[in-house]
Structure 1
């Protein structure tokens, strides 16, 4: 068995298979670093964790680091690598992850079309994180393009390092996929209290640059141009515009690819000897792009391949819950209230469909004193989504009700800590 991808999903699947001696497994990891938890990169950038803290369990000799798969030959059932190695397989798992989206900005690339100007960084890999960490300094002017989960995490991490941060978001509100309008406004207030300048409903048109003598014939970024003509000075620009599944290998091999590599309930691609899991996989029309579903898919695939899943062990999808803690100061720094206006930590959780449809019931509890906000959406007699900021004591019970999909007979307990009494 060959697994292409040394991230969370690929290593989890390999570990499950090798634990019982079910298969001889080789994992190809493109990055030279020891395996790490990508979810914690913002904490490294913020200076709270050393890179070593994010390390995943050592997979041992099954992992070949710094080796990139360049071609899959389905007829011969072989994987060709950039170091010249050719690996045969009985079963192939694609866990190739995703690439950062690089928006079509004027001046984004150097004349050779490959390199980014000095001072412009994506934020996806350990190398990206270490390069950003080396570049940031107190007082540096930084612009983060993208106000989703990744952009918000990057902005608060740079602010924690003392940078002057501007967050530019094209959509109407921050984290529009996870948060409703009131929750997004509270998040914006919290980030503003950290000194982050926020621009929403603004489209970035291009970058301004100047010749950089330190980069030979290269250039260095000096600013960000918005579509309305406004210019933001910038010594550092972070591209946090989302991710796109890495499907090139699959597409070149003739597998079915839509938004991601299409898989069935056994996580099989259009070639039954090839499976796909994690950020690159599309199941039932959905690409998750989150750690939780990636791990669940890895477990489901391992169970399916070893025959331990049984007929009912098919993967039927993941109900993903997003959690984020924004901590402006040192590790563990809190103000006790999770107050957006107080400059302390802010805990956030969102699940399902937090924005109601016509006919849905909405239960909302907002505490102006503690600056907390909770809202759940009920459709018929079932909980379909919710968002909580500032206080997450009820998130466990809410998530269980949502995941179970059971009919609700009493709504009073959904938001209160005391069961509605």
Structure 2
């Protein structure tokens, strides 16, 4: 008997999860075909906001890559829509003319964004926020435009607004209701959320109904029904979604709000099933990942003819984390008849917690500021836990440390309690996987059990369970370099030293890398670590460097490159300006922009023109592409400014020339301000210098990017020589102890300011660090100059460019 033909319409999270479950149960009974309307493999749609916010990349949110489909012998058609189902002949037809027969058919077409019928919504610059294309459109728009409006104050709208803020846009959030996330939060939690987000830079226009989107060819703003208006050159519609049921309707499949299914996800047509956001079960349509995965498991068992529990519906929960703001809700959120509530409001720490109780049973919860108990509360709601003995609240409970609280919950949780609600993974399943497979990191637990692989909200609890199971003294997870190895950065560096390994490929072979070629994470990391360990002997392996570093320019979204010539301290002259102008004209560079680091950015350079552009410029590279010391931003200082107390330009140029092109674990930005007015933004740089009467204040660990963090005062010195010495010691200690791709802000927080001070203030330690820094700097050359003067390297680069 041949294999059954199983066809899945929709390559999203719910449908592919069902396929994963089927493969786990029975890998041999089905020939599987999947149609996906997007030109991408299966990805985690709920993490698109993280991509927009700059916390991750499209590659990182891919759940199953192209190889997964090949390895499981799945026929995948991307960028192709199924437009008709013949339920009598059991055939599906695509918009590209493809005809595929089926024995079993799963419809998982998901939902489509609801675009309110507002006049002007068809203008350029108006978009939904639903898929990768929408995300890429917003990222591109933010490069040119600076004012955005997000229509919708729900979960998706707020996450979109946070992402646009991170992209440098000012953002108005327009919401028709008087408070945010009204479906998930009560008014108290909503107002706390609004206040926290306003402090981050969001502006809220509440109780506003959009009457028209005005503009011309491109949107220019919104007008509201109360007569007010706001300007915007990007409008994001985030007001909700609707089940995508057009295919089912045209195929005589029963549809109400969505495709009607029974407790086994069957439609009214034999051998046709629906799962996910396009399915309606007992009158309910679910849009969150946990219910969709529960449906997928039930459907997989049904298709594989296995006896099992039916789908009874889900209690939904919502978790939001926008730039450090924790929000959780589940079940009922507003008091109704017969309900009582238990509330804790810690105004000092910005924490609000409410539990709703009916007949001594938890029926709902709202958490703000600390959502660590969300998973446990959701489990209690599912179990209809009786809390008659838990009504007394002690004020001193809030003084318990997060670490001991997490460890306590990990120890006291019963094994049957669900930890990862998205994937239905219990504590017992996690503990069993750790003990059976010798797991030692959260990434390994995620790979083995799928716990924390969806929204990531349960990751702290997973980590606590891991630590408790392993009886670790430390509550911190072991961070491996990447998925190619189980070794941490410290372990890899120790092995390199002990075994005297000298090449990237040699490290991978000797240390048992899982992938023979490594990956885009570990190759540049190993290249960097070898350079730190052997500063004189080791030569960078070009093939192990990221693409931008190999091209000496930043790749842009349209395939062209961005070239940034170096200008020490932001100072230039007529000769350099003429050369830049000549290059712009000669190579038809479409845009020249002054950067935030006081440089000129030549945007839109063609790949094949890069060698000649650099040759004609005859200027050093500003290293805008490199994991290295980049610019040193300066104000005009005491030479010209009447407030300046120090010569910031001279010191800035000295710092930049001393450390230019020095490779570091991540990009390093510096600034020198001549007075506490801080015009060069020294307080949010990796190493910031501020002039004061009689000396300089030195700040470390600042970050002006995605995760805004003020620098911490390291010390105050009196001379420029002391600034240069302390900067050298600081950078060298960072180079030697930070993980690859770890910014100084995270490194400073991990090691602690007092520890760093202890190391740098010890004269003997500081002198040794400075000596090692001098050795590293002595080996640094201008890589582009080497390309220009070395005929073989120049020819090789030209070949790469072409």
1:135-171 superposed Cα distances (whole Å, 9 cap, x missing partner): 1149711000011111111111111222110000001
SS of aligned partner of 2:218: strand
Q: Does 1:62 align with 2:75?
A: yes
* 1:118 alignment partner in structure 2: 124
Instruction: Find the aligned partners of 1:282 and 1:414 in 2 and give their Cα distance.
Output: 41
* 2:118 alignment partner in structure 1: 105
* 1:175 alignment partner in structure 2: 181
SS of aligned partner of 2:88: coil
How many residue pairs align between the two structures? 387
Structure 1 position 64, deviation (Å): 1.8
Q: Does 1:78 align with 2:84?
A: no
* 2:7 alignment partner in structure 1: 2
Instruction: Find the aligned partners of 1:239 and 1:127 in 2 and give their Cα distance.
Output: 14
* 1:281 alignment partner in structure 2: 279
Is the 1:176–1:184 Cα contact (8 Å) retained in structure 2?
A: yes
SS of aligned partner of 2:236: strand
Q: Does 1:350 align with 2:348?
A: no
* Structure with greater helix share of residues: 2
Structure 1 position 417, deviation (Å): 9.7
Is the 2:11–2:41 Cα contact (8 Å) retained in structure 1?
A: no
Greater mean alpha carbon deviation, residues 355-364 or residues 93-102: 355-364
Instruction: Find the aligned partners of 2:9 and 2:364 in 1 and give their Cα distance.
Output: 34
* Structure with greater strand share of residues: 1
* 2:60 alignment partner in structure 1: 53
Structure 1 position 391, deviation (Å): 0.7
Structure 1 position 22, deviation (Å): 3.4
SS of aligned partner of 2:31: coil
Instruction: Find the aligned partners of 2:200 and 2:29 in 1 and give their Cα distance.
Output: 51
Change in 2 beyond 3 A, CA 1:415/1:49: farther
Q: Does 1:191 align with 2:201?
A: no
* 2:315 alignment partner in structure 1: 319
Change in 2 beyond 3 A, CA 1:271/1:361: same
Change in 2 beyond 3 A, CA 1:358/1:420: farther
Change in 2 beyond 3 A, CA 1:274/1:414: farther
* 1:401 alignment partner in structure 2: 380
* 1:377 alignment partner in structure 2: 356
* 1:28 alignment partner in structure 2: 35
SS of aligned partner of 1:166: strand
Greater mean alpha carbon deviation, residues 244-253 or residues 353-362: 353-362
Structure 1 position 123, deviation (Å): 0.5
Structure 1 position 416, deviation (Å): 8.8
Larger relative contact order (CA 8 Å, sep ≥ 6): 1
TM-score (norm 1): 0.88
* 1:330 alignment partner in structure 2: none
TM-score (norm 2): 0.47
Instruction: Find the aligned partners of 1:135 and 1:299 in 2 and give their Cα distance.
Output: 40
* 2:693 alignment partner in structure 1: none
Is the 2:114–2:242 Cα contact (8 Å) retained in structure 1?
A: yes
Change in 2 beyond 3 A, CA 1:415/1:204: farther
1:52-95 superposed Cα distances (whole Å, 9 cap, x missing partner): 11101233333221121000111111100111111111111110
Is the 1:363–1:376 Cα contact (8 Å) retained in structure 2?
A: yes
Change in 2 beyond 3 A, CA 1:351/1:309: farther
Change in 2 beyond 3 A, CA 1:134/1:26: same
Return the match for 2:345 from 360, 366, 378: 366
1:225-267 superposed Cα distances (whole Å, 9 cap, x missing partner): 1111111100110000100000001111111111111110010
1:338-362 superposed Cα distances (whole Å, 9 cap, x missing partner): xxxxxxx111111001111022111
**Structure 1, unaligned stretches of length 5 or more?**
110-116, 211-218, 328-344
Change in 2 beyond 3 A, CA 1:385/1:13: same
Instruction: Find the aligned partners of 1:260 and 1:279 in 2 and give their Cα distance.
Output: 8
Greater mean alpha carbon deviation, residues 277-286 or residues 292-301: 292-301
Change in 2 beyond 3 A, CA 1:79/1:417: farther
Greater mean alpha carbon deviation, residues 124-133 or residues 153-162: 153-162
Is the 1:139–1:162 Cα contact (8 Å) retained in structure 2?
A: no
Change in 2 beyond 3 A, CA 1:396/1:419: farther
Change in 2 beyond 3 A, CA 1:118/1:139: closer
Q: Does 1:159 align with 2:165?
A: yes
